[in-house]
Amino acid sequence: MYNLYRLLGILHSLKNSDKILQQIQIVYMKIGIVCYPTYGGSGVVATELGKALADKGHQVHFIAYKQPARLSHFHENVYFHEVSFSNYPLFAFPPYETALASKLVDVVKFQNLDILHVHYAIPHASAAYLAKKILREQGIEIPVVTTLHGTDITLVGKDVTFSPVVSFSINQSDGVTAVSESLRQETFDYFDINTDIEVIPNFIDLDAFQKLDKDHFKKAIAPQGERIIMHISNFRKVKRIQDVLDVFHRIHQIMPAKLLLVGDGPERKNAEAQCRDLRICHDTRFLGKQDAVGELLAVADLFLLPSQNESFGLVALEAMACEVPVISSNAGGIPEINLQGETGFLSEIGDVENMAKNAIYLLSNEDKLQEFRKNALEQARRFDIEAILPIYESHYERTIEKVKAKSGMTV
């Protein structure tokens, strides 16, 4: 199948391009993508990657328990296969992993997939391993790539409940990628890993995230020209929402400012209570879950990301693409995207004093703020999806070749 697609790719190039020699290397693949369908970072990355691969001519099959949040429009090269599982009364816990493995067997076999790319190790990597073994019994060798996103390693994965299965299934994957150097290192630190891990950073679609002219919206939020500070997250403990409010409180004491909080999650109740205690509710708005994040970022002067842990911090990259400097903690992979004194400032986790000092410095100095805005966009351009996509394609091709050579079978 892979060879047929390779040939089709070459024919397509010959038909459509005058730059034949440049195009002749195009290899179209049939790719299965497994992900969580929610708004969480890993699901967003998986969906955007799949859509971009489909735009390039690959055939992409999403496999998830629900239609992924960002997969709303029809695309001729995109397919969706829902993992449904029985709620038989015997099952106190629905057996998602078993249902997923069975679905993977079915989709690989009947759609003739060339490769499976699973996002988030738990339980996707182990379900893929099981599917791979079942398919091998039937004479099909399917290469599996696992992408580690962060919490699957740093928060959930290293928990003893999961860690032996996580290490095993990472080691059994034919290709492994991590979204930052920091996550790669942490994976080697926490687990007994005997395979390579390639860092392929997350990416941004600069057409979807760019500074837009939203002056009418800005006036509605900040009618007196107040500074607008923004935070977007799933409001889990790891995001340290209490620090967001503490930093904003300090900024608010020095200058007129508004805080926009986007997203929702378990910490929202505490955040609302803290907001009342600090008496900043009149200048704070909880906007809940929002789809048009780019439009909201268009009005922000500064983005706050004080996380306890963050393998990458995709949302900081989205802010930077919209020319919004970032005040963040120095956790995990954040320093790989937010550059100290250039695109924003980094502080020790929990050092709200320092974060507020840096924020006030930037917000009180219009020239500096403009300079940081420009730097932020320049940095975001380094993570342009156009540059990152070929790295994934190359990883897939090398993995397919490796599995082919190892098994002696035609993939």
- The binding site for ligand GMT (CB under 6 A) comprises 40-42, 45, 149-151, 154, 179, 202, 234, 238, 309-314
Instruction: Closer to ligand GMT by CB, 11 or 208: give it.
Output: 208
Instruction: Closer to ligand GMT by CB, 59 or 154: give it.
Output: 154
Instruction: Closer to ligand GMT by CB, 132 or 231: give it.
Output: 231
Q: How far is the CB of 120 from ligand GMT (least distance, A)?
A: 6
Q: How far is the CB of 348 from ligand GMT (least distance, A)?
A: 17
Strand order from edge to edge, sheet including 344-347: 284-288, 257-262, 227-232, 302-305, 326-329, 344-347
Instruction: Closer to ligand GMT by CB, 13 or 329: give it.
Output: 329
Q: How far is the CB of 370 from ligand GMT (least distance, A)?
A: 27
The pair phi, psi for residue 314, each rounded to 5°, is: -55, -35
> Dihedral of CA 141/174/156/178: which sign?
negative
Instruction: Closer to ligand GMT by CB, 113 or 304: give it.
Output: 304
Q: How far is the CB of 327 from ligand GMT (least distance, A)?
A: 16
Q: How far is the CB of 176 from ligand GMT (least distance, A)?
A: 14
- The two tokens of residue 10 are 């070459």
Nearest-angstrom CA–CA distance, 389 and 325: 25
- C-beta of residue 121 within 8 angstroms of C-beta of residue 131: no
Q: How far is the CB of 309 from ligand GMT (least distance, A)?
A: 5
Instruction: Closer to ligand GMT by CB, 167 or 180: give it.
Output: 180
Q: How far is the CB of 44 from ligand GMT (least distance, A)?
A: 7
- C-beta of residue 304 within 8 angstroms of C-beta of residue 355: yes
- The two tokens of residue 283 are 């200048």
Q: How far is the CB of 264 from ligand GMT (least distance, A)?
A: 12
Instruction: Closer to ligand GMT by CB, 41 or 68: give it.
Output: 41
Instruction: Closer to ligand GMT by CB, 39 or 85: give it.
Output: 39
Instruction: Closer to ligand GMT by CB, 40 or 143: give it.
Output: 40
Q: How far is the CB of 202 from ligand GMT (least distance, A)?
A: 5
Nearest-angstrom CA–CA distance, 257 and 194: 51
